[in-house]
């Protein structure tokens, strides 16, 4: 199987590339390596997959030194000419579209970045899949589409028409665009609503990383809404296993379009998550309780019944196990690179 992974230098994209290349699939990864957070973490991820930083140039294919069936290309999804040429030349079987401008709070300050990347970029992927057909397009949506829904747990059949951030609106737009292209052009498409993903090599702007790094280095951490938030924290290995199952089950029917939640079971209170980090690290958090941030939600809670019943997969890694793995990686990363993690 030949797979295109967009966002290959990102958190979930990096793990997806590793998983499928190690399984013997031919993988092409693309990423624009933007500066939303420190690019050195992105280059470090790429190095872990055998992509040498000094060889990376725009639109030039770089073969992995670790696994020759993986190639990386620095490119921007907004470049329609390049994307069309890539699809015409490569003949992909599957597209796993994970590239996006992420971050709920960042969307308040930089709205156009979300339109350019999440709307125009996804449109170019859809058009390429239309003219150069693939067996399955899988794309990243988000639990943020549920907004302030009071009904929990969140189910794929719930109303999702009241987003509280532009990021959430862009992800909901992706779902509607994907449904339209499935209906019009019979493209098998599956959207995956991720719930608060964490783990090694993760995004440094997200709470699990911020908390881990700050507690280890005895820096203050901010507890938004005075710590009265809860999240379905989901370890990266559960996400990748779920993606693998979904990719191998393309939807069929008159409109070959599906959406699945991938998230851990019952949500964990922010303060309980902090206590778990304290227990694993043996250090006490310096907490600063602050008010709710614009665009944030009080809780996320995934109903994964559809994923379990239709594809027989359920996330299973506990918070304690996940935090322990994250801590071990944190120690290794900071030791090897002799630096603090690149948090901005």
First to last CA, the chain: 38
| Euclidean distance between CA atoms 215 and 275, whole angstroms | 10
Question: Which uninterrupted H or E stretch holds 223?
Answer: strand 220-223
Q: What are phi and psi of 287, to 5 degrees?
A: -100, 135
Pairing of β 189-194 and β 257-262: parallel
- Residue indicated by tokens 């948090």: 343
Single out the catalytic residue among 37, 154, 167, 235. Answer: 167
118 is written with which tokens?
């999440």
Pairing outcome for strands 268-269 and 230-231: antiparallel
Q: Closest by alpha carbon to 146, among 259, 300, 258?
A: 300
Only one residue has tokens 């951030």, namely: 165
Taking the C-alpha atoms of residue 244 and residue 1, their distance in angstroms, rounded to an integer, is 12
Distances 94 to 29, 132, 189, 191, 235 between C-alpha atoms, Å? 12, 11, 10, 14, 24
**Active-site residue flag, 226:** no
Q: Three-state DSSP class for 2?
A: strand
Contact 209, 341 (CB under 8 A): yes
Check: CB of residue 96 under 8 Å from CB of residue 3.
yes
Work out the widest C-alpha separation in the chain, in whole angstroms.
56
Tokens at residue 277, please? 């980090």
The residues assigned a catalytic role are: 167
């Amino acid at each position: 199987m030949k797979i295109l992974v967009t966002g290959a230098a990102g958190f979930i994209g990096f793990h997806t590339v590793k998983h499928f290349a190690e399984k013997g699939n031919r993988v092409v990864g693309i990423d624009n390596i933007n500066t939303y957070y420190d690019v050195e973490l992105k280059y470090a991820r790429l190095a872990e997959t055998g992509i040498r930083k000094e060889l990376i140039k725009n639109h030039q294919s770089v073969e992995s030194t670790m696994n020759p069936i993986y190639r990386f290309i620095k490119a921007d999804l907004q470049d329609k000419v390049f994307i069309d040429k890539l699809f015409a030349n490569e003949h992909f079987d599957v597209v796993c579209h994970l590239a996006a401008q992420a971050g709920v709070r960042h969307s308040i300050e930089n709205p156009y970045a979300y339109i350019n990347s999440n709307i125009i970029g996804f449109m170019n992927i859809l058009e390429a899949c239309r003219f150069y057909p693939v067996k399955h397009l899988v794309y990243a949506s988000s639990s943020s589409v549920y907004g302030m829904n009071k009904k929990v747990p969140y189910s794929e059949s719930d109303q999702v028409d009241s987003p509280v951030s532009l990021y959430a609106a862009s992800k909901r737009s992706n779902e509607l665009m994907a449904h339209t292209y499935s209906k019009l052009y019979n493209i098998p498409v599956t959207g995956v609503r991720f719930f608060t993903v964490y783990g090694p090599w993760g995004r440094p702007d997200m709470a699990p990383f911020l908390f881990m790094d700050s507690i280890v280095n005895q820096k203050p951490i901010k507890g938004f809404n005075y710590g009265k938030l809860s999240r379905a924290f989901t370890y990266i290995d559960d996400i990748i296993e779920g993606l693998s199952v979904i990719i191998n089950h393309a939807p069929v029917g008159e409109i070959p379009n599906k959406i699945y939640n991938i998230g851990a079971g019952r949500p964990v209170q922010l303060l309980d998550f902090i206590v778990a980090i304290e227990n694993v690290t043996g250090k006490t958090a310096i907490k600063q309780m602050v008010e709710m941030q614009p665009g944030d939600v009080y809780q996320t809670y995934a109903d994964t019944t559809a994923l379990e019943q239709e594809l027989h997969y359920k996330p299973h890694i506990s918070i304690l196990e996940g935090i322990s793995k994250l801590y071990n990686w944190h120690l290794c990363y900071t030791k090897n690179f002799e630096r603090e993690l690149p948090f901005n």
